[in-house]
Amino acid sequence: MKIGIVLYPTFGGSGVVATELGKALAAKGHEVHFITYSQPVRLGSFRENIFYHEVSLTDYPLFEFQPYETLLASKMVDVVKYEKLDLLHVHYAIPHASAAYMAQQILKSQNIDIPFITTLHGTDITLVGRDPSFEPVITFCLNQSNAVTSVSQSLKDETYQHFDTVRAIHVIPNFIESYDELPVINLEKRRRYASDNEPIITHISNFRKVKRIEDVVKIFAKVNEEIPCKLLLAGDGPERPVAEKLARDLKVCNRVIFVGKVRDTAHVLEMSDLFLLPSETESFGLAALEAMAVGVPVISSNTGGIPEVNVEGFSGYLSNVGDIDSMAKNALHILKDPQTHLQFRKNALTRSKDFKLESILSMYEKVYEAVLNECSEVGKRIYD
Ligand code: GMT
């Protein structure tokens, strides 16, 4: 198949999932065309079957705001037509699904029928989507998409709760390539951050309010009172200064290390003993799955799709949002005893294997095939 993937090219989970999906489809022999405004962070170097089409932004002075949706739709029309794509798969509803609909209509007027699949990732529905000013466009796009997928059952339920749509939504969870077994820790590298008897607790995110970074620092400070440890914070975003100040106020700033944005999170996670994800809401929690895939247990909130990923008492523990005492207690339970810790590490790795790339990939391929079959019954793509 020739597939156009529209995504945000940034460090966010939706961009990571879309990029890794495209890479995996390309490795399987599909031709994949990424369409976005800058090179996706996880795309890496030149690969067979992968093409990247940049949406160039205009700096025409009339526009106070860039008409990105229009530029994206035009680029989609161009790529579909000249690369003879079979389908478009857009990740994140806003504004990718509406741009895809526009491209679809333009192409229809030129006798080209192109289906588009919309994958919902979370904040497009749970945060942004709930803003009433977006609602009519999102509802319309859900109804117009040839297929809709969501990354968790929880997100599917929320979509039906907040949007007036009866569209079938296929739940296709995010995926990961897990390590075969627990990694051997590179002590030389680890010693740059902590001494051998100090556990490393990690959090990785875009440091937005929804991640509750203050809870991360508070949980860490409580654990550190009983077991001296280090907190490794990877990523960046608006709440970082808040976390920095809190670490100073709680007198743990010499134990908190901000490493900034990292392209390959496994490098950080391999040295970690525990992962914290106390988010306010999370449609899936890809960062938690990435931690589990290298054998790092997860202490998380029990909100949104997280319980579909982290299993209570097995791969980690889940608590109510904001319950930092419970999260600190659970963290200490895992870290205090080496045998318990080892068991949780093994369990985390085992659980991550339920999200194997190959099985998730074929779920997407089935949706593509169904959509293409439906399309070929209705009309035909005429490129020449
Ligand atoms: O977590 C973020 O703020 C980034 C956001 C995104 O759109 O990139 O992540 C969302 O999509 C990820 C991939 O499907 C999910 O793992 C995250 O849980 C989801 N974030 C939220 O729901 C807050």
Q: Give the domain CATH number at 78.
A: 3.40.50.2000
- Check whether residue 163 and residue 218 sit in a common domain: no
Do 205 and 171 share a structural domain? no
Within a domain: 268: yes
Are 206 and 147 contained in the same domain? no
Residues 260, 295, single domain; the answer is yes
Using the mean position of ligand 1's atoms as its centre, give its distance from the Cα of residue 16 in Å.
Answer: 10
How many CA atoms lie less than 13 Å away from 171 in the CB half-sphere? 15
- Asked whether residue 301 is assigned to any structural domain, the reply reads yes
Question: What's the CA gap between 126 and 199, in Å, rounded?
Answer: 34
Same domain, 253 and 118: no
Which of 185, 179, 183, 219 is closest to 203 using CA atoms? 219
Provide the whole-model pTM.
0.94
How confident is the model at residue 382, as a pLDDT?
Answer: 58
Q: Strand ranges (DSSP E) for 225-283?
A: 230-234, 256-260, 274-277
Ligand 1 center from residue 205 Cα (angstroms)? 9
The CA 204 to ligand 1 mean position distance, Å, reads: 12
Mutate to test the pocket of ligand 1, among 10, 123, 172, 309 (most ligand atoms within 8 A of CB): 123
> Measured in angstroms, how far is the CA atom of residue 71 from the centroid of ligand 1?
25
Ligand 1 atom nearest residue 286's Cα:
16
Position 383 in a domain? no
Q: Output the CA torsion sign for 144, 176, 283, 234.
A: negative
Q: Give the pLDDT score at 32.
A: 98
Q: Which atom of ligand 1 is nearest to the CA of 304?
A: 22
**Alpha-helical regions (H) of the chain:** 13-27, 68-83, 96-108, 123-126, 135-144, 153-162, 187-190, 213-226, 240-249, 265-269, 286-292, 324-336, 338-352, 357-378
229 & 344 share domain: yes
Atom of ligand 1 lying closest to residue 124 CA: 7
Around ligand 1, the residues with Cβ closer than 6 Å are 12-15, 17, 92, 121-123, 126, 151, 174, 206, 208, 210, 281-286
Same domain, 374 and 281: no
Structural domain tally of the chain? 2
How many Å lie between the centroid of ligand 1 and the Cα of residue 282? Answer: 6
DSSP assignment of 52-104 equals EEE-PPP--TT-SS--HHHHHHHHHHHHHHHHT-SEEEEESSTTHHHHHHHHH
Please report the pLDDT score of residue 230 as a whole number.
Answer: 98
State whether 300 and 339 are in the same domain.
yes
User: Ligand 1 pocket: which of 174, 206, 282, 364 to mutate (most atoms <8 Å of CB)?
Assistant: 282
What residues make up the domain containing 330? 187-355
Residues 259 and 276 in one domain: yes
* Residue located nearest, by CA, to atom 12 of ligand 1: 13
| Amino acid 380: pLDDT | 56
CA–centroid distance, 291 to ligand 1, in Å, is 15
Using the mean position of ligand 1's atoms as its centre, give its distance from the Cα of residue 287 in Å.
9
pLDDT at 117 (0 to 100): 98
**Whether residue 291 is found in the same domain as residue 328:** yes
pLDDT of residue 375: 79
Ligand 1 centre to CA of 221 (Å) is: 26
Q: Note whether residue 141 is domain-resident.
A: yes
Does 180 reside within a domain?
A: no
Rounded to whole angstroms, the Cα distance separating 357 from 24 reads 8
Residue 134, pLDDT score: 85
> In this structure, is residue 384 part of a structural domain?
no
Can you tell me which atom of ligand 1 is nearest the CA of 284?
Answer: 18
> What is the torsional sign of CA 57, 58, 59, 65?
negative
Query: How is residue 49 annotated by DSSP?
Result: T
Mark whether 207 and 227 lie in a shared domain. Answer: yes
Ligand 1, residue 15: give the atom nearest the CA.
8
Q: Is residue 182 part of a domain?
A: no
What atom in ligand 1 is closest to the CA of residue 279? 23
Task: Give mean pLDDT in consecutive 10-residue pieces for the chain, a chain of 384 residues.
Answer: 95 91 96 95 86 87 82 97 97 94 97 96 76 86 96 95 90 94 93 96 96 98 98 97 97 97 92 98 97 98 98 98 98 98 98 96 97 74 60
Q: Which residues 6+ apart lie within 8 Å of 307 measured at CB?
A: 154, 318
Same domain, 363 and 343: no
- Cα of 226 to ligand 1 centre, how many Å? 32
Q: What's the confidence (pLDDT) of residue 377? A: 62
Specify the ligand 1 atom closest to the Cα of 305: 18
